DNA sequence: GTCTATAATTCGATAGAC
DNA sequence: GTCTATCGAATTATAGAC
């Protein structure tokens, strides 16, 4: 299904037809339905899987005895490694969750908010312990997450991939120290 | 057309049908074609317009006698003001450019790369003048832009809007100083 | 400018043979 | 599991009356 994910990433979920998916797999359309229940369920299972991975990762970090700063570093590291290993899954998570329907969409948004709240709590605790400077929690949370969310495109969009170890150093430095002056 | 933009943002361009657009305007479908040539041209003109605004803004900054640090601050400020005043246009720019076709898509990507290269040149010059610390230019460029790109959602997704002046302070501080420790 | 009606195509999904 | 054939609904867009 890796080739299907790539296809969906390039055209977008809604613009990718079952015929596109079938021909990409060298199947006739009808045969695809021997592997999936519907186009919608394909999206749902992809999103559930990658979403689970992010949540499992952050839950382990939250349950650790790390300090807030260590938790944030660990979060950045885990996030980058997951993105580097599954860039197309991450791309789908970033771009196509809007096409979920009804309760699936509602649940997705609730879970995403849970994730963001966990990041917020790390930052809040870090400020309280004076490991981080005082700043608006909401802006800090979205800024940190945004600094990680663009990375998938460097793995989906070009041939020469970035070294995840060096990436982690550079992005961590940016998140902790910014461009350099204030 | 403001209400149309909002509709497209909520459902995504591909999932928004001409019938959706028509009923949103209290029209019958056929009548919408008295105002636009096609669904595709609607997307193209929206994207061209907002894209032009970003480019006009950065070109003025590039042509100024500001130092790299001043240029970056000015860029952040202009970017946030534009996002706060036209969040749905910015949302479309972030989310739906993929649905451009052929040469329109090619041109869009070329222009976007031009924009990113201008930001890169500011950062490169800033490092050379030791206004910014030494770091990977590409990562720095995407990190800075990512720190700005999430903001539209705080204007499209909720009732209580953030104060753009305070936002600018908080995001500037994050971009220049990060979370606080290294 | 706005409508009714409809053309022409494409879509997701299914039936049923092999 | 894979196919051919096809259904029924939805889609963009147009023709032409008012």
Would the CB atoms of A139 and B72 count as touching at under 8 Å? no
pLDDT at A80: 98
Distance CA A177, CA A179 (A): 7
Residue A33, CB, less than 7 Å from strand C? Answer: yes
Candidates B7, B13, B143, B154: best to mutate against A (most CBs of A within 10 A) is B143
Domain-embedded: residue B19: no
pLDDT over 70 at A181, yes or no: no
Q: Is the per-residue pLDDT at A158 higher than 90?
A: no
Q: Is B7 inside a domain boundary?
A: no
Q: What is the pLDDT of residue B161?
A: 79
Dist. CA B170–CA A73, nearest whole Å: 21
Q: What is the DSSP string of A109-171?
A: HHHHHHHHHHHHHHHHHHHHTTSS----HHHHHHHHHHHHHTTHHHHHS-SSPPPHHHHHHHH
Q: How many CB atoms lie under 10 A from the CB of residue B177?
A: 17
- The pLDDT of residue A182 is 55
Query: Are residues B87 and B156 in contact, defined by beta-carbon separation less than 8 angstroms?
Result: yes
Q: What is the mean pLDDT of residues A53-70?
A: 98
Identify whether B112 is part of a domain.
Answer: yes
Q: Is residue B166 part of a domain?
A: yes
- What is the pLDDT at residue A1? 81
Closest amino acid to nucleotide D6 (CA–C1'): A30
Supply the pLDDT for residue B56.
Answer: 98
Residue B20 lies in a domain: no
Span B36-61, pLDDT tens digits: 999 999 999 999 999 999 999 999 99
The minimal CB distance from A144 to the residues B135, B136, B179 is found for B179
DSSP state of B15: T
In chain B, the residue whose alpha carbon lies closest to the alpha carbon of A150 is B146
Distance (Å) from the C-alpha of residue B153 to the closest C-alpha of chain A?
A: 10
Domain containing residue A148? 39-177
**B181 confidence band (pLDDT: 50, 70, 90):** low
Q: Convert the pLDDT of each residue in A4-37 to its tens digit.
A: 999 999 999 999 999 999 999 999 999 999 999 9
How far is A14 from chain B, CA to nearest CA, in Å? 6
Distance B31 CA to C4 C1' (A): 11
Instruction: Average the pLDDT over each of A3-12, A93-102, B82-91, B160-169 and give the range with the smallest value.
Output: B160-169
Is A9 a domain residue? no
Q: Does B135 have pLDDT greater than 80?
A: yes
Scan for tokens 């993929």, then name that residue: B98
Whether A10 is in a domain gets the answer no
Tens-place pLDDT, residues A87-135: 999 999 999 999 999 999 999 999 999 999 999 999 999 999 999 999 9
B97 CB within 8 Å of a chain A CB: no
The number of domains in chain B is 1
Tell me the CATH number at A85.
1.10.357.10
Phi/psi for A125 (5° steps) reads -65, -40
Is B80 inside any structural domain? Answer: yes
The mean pLDDT value of chain B amounts to 96
């Amino acid at each position: 299904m890796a080739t299907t994910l790539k296809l969906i990433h390039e055209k977008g979920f809604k613009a990718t037809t079952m015929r596109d998916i079938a021909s990409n797999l060298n199947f006739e359309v009808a045969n695809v339905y021997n592997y999936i229940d519907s186009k919608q369920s394909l999206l749902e299972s992809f999103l559930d899987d990658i979403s689970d991975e992010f949540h499992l990762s952050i839950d382990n970090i939250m349950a650790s005895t790390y300090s807030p700063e260590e938790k944030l570093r660990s979060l950045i590291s885990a996030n980058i490694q997951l993105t580097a290993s599954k860039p197309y899954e991450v791309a789908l998570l970033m771009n196509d969750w809007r096409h979920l329907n009804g309760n699936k969409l509602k649940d997705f948004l609730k879970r995403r908010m849970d994730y963001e709240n966990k990041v917020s709590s790390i930052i809040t605790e870090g400020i309280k312990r004076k490991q981080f400077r005082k700043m608006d929690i909401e802006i800090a949370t979205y800024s940190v997450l945004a600094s990680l969310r663009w990375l998938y495109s460097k793995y989906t969009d070009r041939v020469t991939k970035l070294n995840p170890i060096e990436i982690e150093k550079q992005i961590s430095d940016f998140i902790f120290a910014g461009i350099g002056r204030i």
